[in-house]
Structure 1
């Protein structure tokens, strides 16, 4: 029996702005908003003395440079991750198409690894503590995730599993006739807004005085949020469920997103434990007061 009320999918053009041959898509704007918003907040966090407790912190000009490094890491890592984790067979037969990023196909986990590598290389080159720089980046990363998932919803992609009895489900334009969970909005809320608030509270409590702590909270929090949201998200068509075959929202079905999030959760938990024990604190500040 169909639900009594199914929300109509909003007909929003994926192209936000078109000037002659130039088309600017919502997805591109999401990346730009995430980077610019993250840069703006990071500059203000870096200016608060109490959060750093003597640790070397980046100047506004250095943060300007870091944005470029992170942008390259996210784009390259996200694309490589998608090719390797989600559609390797197709790109193995047509490797030149891996360069066609304008056709879509990005992996968060790949973009995350690319951003981490870019930040670590930047930190070592400029003489910063890599863990502290990762902590700073972790606070602002959910901003990009939030807008990225909203853009996924606008594009009508990465929709949820069928939910015929859920009153707030949507019938997506390319998702078949069944109403589905708006899993993109669930991810925007859990991986974006809620995780951002958790990190802001953590920074106000601990600052960046325990290198690796804020980054660990982000990694663990994202992994747990992603695993939960994957129960409502339709797996990629070319992969399906890696284990199990249920389409019920809360039953069965292990997806690639879940599998990739498990090591993230373990790494995040280890980082939190080591940071709280003081293992990651530089010797120069190890004797100063605990937060």
Structure 2
């Protein structure tokens, strides 16, 4: 097994160095955010809720800017259908890519509270939702994707932080002396990378800052496909990199050893190619000419941005 061989190699080095890793249990974390006795709310649920609400708020600010490809009524529809797409797509994607046995057991498949969501499945569900709303409202699909892409990283940040709080999806065994290596419950006695935090940093914080700056400080939103292309490429590169530090799902260890890459890395490759293609096409095409009515200017006078 990949993790066992890594552990065997790391153990003597750690013992010799005398390095004392952090212990997740000593951080005082719990998957339960609010416990009412008869009902408990988990941090993971709150992470989803916070990500969706923040995305809705951010999209509302963005569409108030000149030249937006959708109106508030479309944002309301997207809020509803994209939420369904994230939940249904995320669960079905997890079953299809990571746990096919769930497809034969519908009772287990619908138990979302037991965990198991796939980002790539949620992404597919969101794209289907955007396509549906765009078709119904006569919207430009690619430009709508641009606006939605800017709103996604905060949700990724919250979700990965929730994974860490849950003590799940830990990293690979390491002999690193870095002060943040950690022993996770249920993962053995050897220190591992807190890969959940690596993903939160790269997929959530860094990618979010890049897209935020591009939208608000540059003319990127006038180039259809650029923002969603950068999102796809940026996420794929971040996920592909962090997967080298993340322990593959136990049921897919043999797959990772046989193919040389984890399932998460294989799934990022088409996303990387599509993101690169969209960004390249956007940069090679002329930007949109958008008519803007400046504040205080009389009606009928416009400027072209």
Same fold (TM over 0.5): yes
Aligned counterpart for 1:275 among listed residues 279, 282, 289? 282
TM-score if structure 1 supplies the norm length? 0.88
Partner of 1:254: 261
Pairwise CA distance, 1:253: 4.1
Aligned counterpart for 1:57 among listed residues 70, 74, 80? 70
Q: Distance in 2 between matches of 1:199 and 1:242?
A: 34
Aligned 1:122-271 pairs, distance under 5 A: 122-167=133-178, 168-203=180-215, 204-240=217-253, 242-244=255-257, 253-271=260-278
Q: Distance in 2 between matches of 1:190 and 1:138?
A: 15
Q: What CA RMSD, in Å, does the superposition of the two structures yield over aligned residues?
A: 2.2
Pairwise CA distance, 1:239: 0.7
2:119 matches 1:108: yes
Partner of 2:130: 119
Contact 1:164 1:179 in 2 (8 A): yes
> Which segment is superposed worse, 254-263 or 2-11?
2-11
Contact 2:248 2:256 in 1 (8 A): no
- 3-state SS in 1 of match to 2:247: coil
| Superposed CA offset, 1:28-66 (max 9, x none) | 0000010111111111111122xx3xx53322x432332
Q: Distance in 2 between matches of 1:259 and 1:180?
A: 23
Pairwise CA distance, 1:93: 4.4
| Superposed CA offset, 1:187-241 (max 9, x none) | 0000000000111122121242121110000000000000000000000001115
TM-score if structure 2 supplies the norm length? 0.84
> Which segment is superposed worse, 65-74 or 2-11?
2-11
Pairwise CA distance, 1:261: 0.1
Q: Distance in 1 between matches of 2:159 and 2:55?
A: 13
Aligned counterpart for 1:43 among listed residues 17, 37, 60? 60
- 3-state SS in 2 of match to 1:208: helix
Name the CA shift for 1:123/1:92 in 2 (closer, same or farther; >3 Å): closer
Contact 2:96 2:103 in 1 (8 A): no
> Which segment is superposed worse, 268-277 or 220-229?
268-277
Contact 1:78 1:106 in 2 (8 A): yes
> Which segment is superposed worse, 196-205 or 154-163?
196-205
Contact 1:77 1:111 in 2 (8 A): yes
| Superposed CA offset, 1:121-143 (max 9, x none) | 11111121111111111001000
Q: Higher helix fraction: Structure 1 or Structure 2?
A: 2
| Superposed CA offset, 1:245-266 (max 9, x none) | 7xxxxxx941000000000000
Q: Which runs of 5+ in 2 are unaligned?
A: 1-12, 291-302
Contact 1:150 1:188 in 2 (8 A): yes
Select the structure of larger CA radius of gyration. Answer: 2
- 3-state SS in 1 of match to 2:213: helix
Q: Distance in 2 between matches of 1:169 and 1:290?
A: 53
